[in-house]
Amino acid sequence: MNRNNYCVIMAGGVGSRFWPLSKTSKPKQFLDILGTGKSLIQQTYERFSKIIPEENILIVSHRDYKDLIFEQIPGIHPNQVLLEPMRKNTAVCIAYANFKILKENPDASIIVAPSDHLIMREDEFLDVIAKGLEFVQNSNALLTIGIKPSRPETGYGYIQVNGERCTGTAIRKVKTFTEKPNVEMAKLFYESGEFFWNSGIFIWSLSTIMHSFDLYMPDLNAQFQEAMDLLNTPEEANFVGSLYPKCKSISIDYAVMEKAENVYVICADFGWSDLGTWGSLYTHLDKDDSQNAISGKNVFIYNSTNCIVNIADDRLAVVHGLDDYIVVESEGVLLICKKDDEQRIKDFVNDVRIKKGEGYI
């Protein structure tokens, strides 16, 4: 393995769209929602450990999840776990990881990936990562992975490639980034062949991403630079605790990728999903003859089709006469929602928080 290659796994989200199974105390990245016997973060860590030295894998997460991380990734060194005092989106956590890596290896090349994605064809995925690492080692490029769309999906952002169509695992310059489109626009993107789903997985050299932060978020870089001597010392937590409240909450896409001129995409198709919603999970689960995806030892389902039902094993549920519904019970909380309305789950969570407090969230 190349000792200059690093991986940063982002694992600080709350996964509110998977409520009530995913809760603030134990969000979806720490759950075995696919029924594999391993949580999503465990699968992500093991996947990257096949090509990245384990001591070069960093996990960035909220400090509330410190115990969960060490429980699920036993043996990881404390210096590899970056604990944020509050959620400030992806740009700040990437900057934090950059400086941790800079202190150790200025010649690093870095993969940045979420902790909760599904990869169906892992060997193909790792081949794409290897090609991407080779590319950024020899060019001043910010590289993202674009997924060949299989449908006109409205739940993902899109990347448009510049020039000729992107086939296989070709690398093309990025022309535009587009946020989640409406149905009509998604159909146009899908049919054009020029647009790819934005996977949120990035590859770059440390020097290139550091220069990009110097250009587009210079104040943030300067603050971390001033505190370099505190990193990997007992004072690191105090420094981060004082810095984060001052930081702007912004994604790496808005902060850097949509502004930079040196952004490229590697086209890929390895069976990817961001598992962002119950609906996206449904497409990857085994189903019965009526296209119901059922999890739970004591579920009785009648005259129902196209549903996803997730019930704790110590509960009994009878489901009758539903079509295209989400039915989820977890720790005394029951959600029954049309799949078409799953984007409203965040609204439901907010309402529960306001009227009932954090106990159910």
- In-domain check, residue 99: yes
- In-domain check, residue 272: no
Q: To the nearest whole number, what is the mean pLDDT of the chain?
A: 93
Specify whether 232 is located in the same domain as 291: no
- In-domain check, residue 327: yes
Specify whether 235 is located in the same domain as 114: yes
- In-domain check, residue 270: no
Give the total number of structural domains in the chain: 2
Mean pLDDT, rounded, for 183-209: 92
- In-domain check, residue 170: no
Helix (H) or strand (E) holding 242: helix 236-243
Find tokens 């054009």 and name the residue.
192
pTM tops 0.85: yes
Domain harbouring 224, CATH code = 3.90.550.10
Angle value at C-alpha 169, between 164 and 171, nearest 5 degrees: 55
Specify whether 120 is located in the same domain as 203: yes
Picking from 199-208, 277-286, 346-355, which range would have the lowest pLDDT averaged per residue? 277-286
| pLDDT value of position 293 | 96
What is the four-CA torsion angle of 161, 163, 164, 167, rounded to 10 degrees?
-30
As a whole number of angstroms, the distance between CA 285 and CA 309 comes to 11
Specify whether 57 is located in the same domain as 100: yes
Does residue 163 carry a pLDDT above 80? no
As a whole number of angstroms, the distance between CA 352 and CA 45 comes to 33
Specify whether 91 is located in the same domain as 212: yes
pLDDT 10s digits, 259-310: 999 999 999 999 998 888 898 899 889 999 999 999 999 999 999 999 999 9
As a whole number of angstroms, the distance between CA 269 and CA 267 comes to 7
Specify whether 254 is located in the same domain as 300: no
| Ranges of H-type helices in 73-203 | 89-104, 122-137, 183-192
Residue 194: count of CB within 10 angstroms of its CB: 19
- In-domain check, residue 247: yes
- In-domain check, residue 336: yes
Specify whether 337 is located in the same domain as 242: no
Amino acid 139 reads S
The whole-angstrom distance between residue 49's C-alpha and the CA centroid of its chain comes to 17
Specify whether 72 is located in the same domain as 219: yes
List, in order, residues 6 or more apart from 322 with CB less than 8 Å away. Answer: 304, 305, 307
Amino acid 150 reads S
Specify whether 121 is located in the same domain as 28: yes
Specify whether 243 is located in the same domain as 325: no
What's the pLDDT band for 54 if we cut at 50, 70, 90? Answer: very high
Query: Tokens standing for 63?
Result: 């400090």
What's the pLDDT band for 191 if we cut at 50, 70, 90? Answer: confident
- In-domain check, residue 292: yes
* Residue 69 belongs to domain spanning: 5-144+193-263
Specify whether 14 is located in the same domain as 122: yes
Strand 158-161 relative to strand 195-205, pairing:
antiparallel
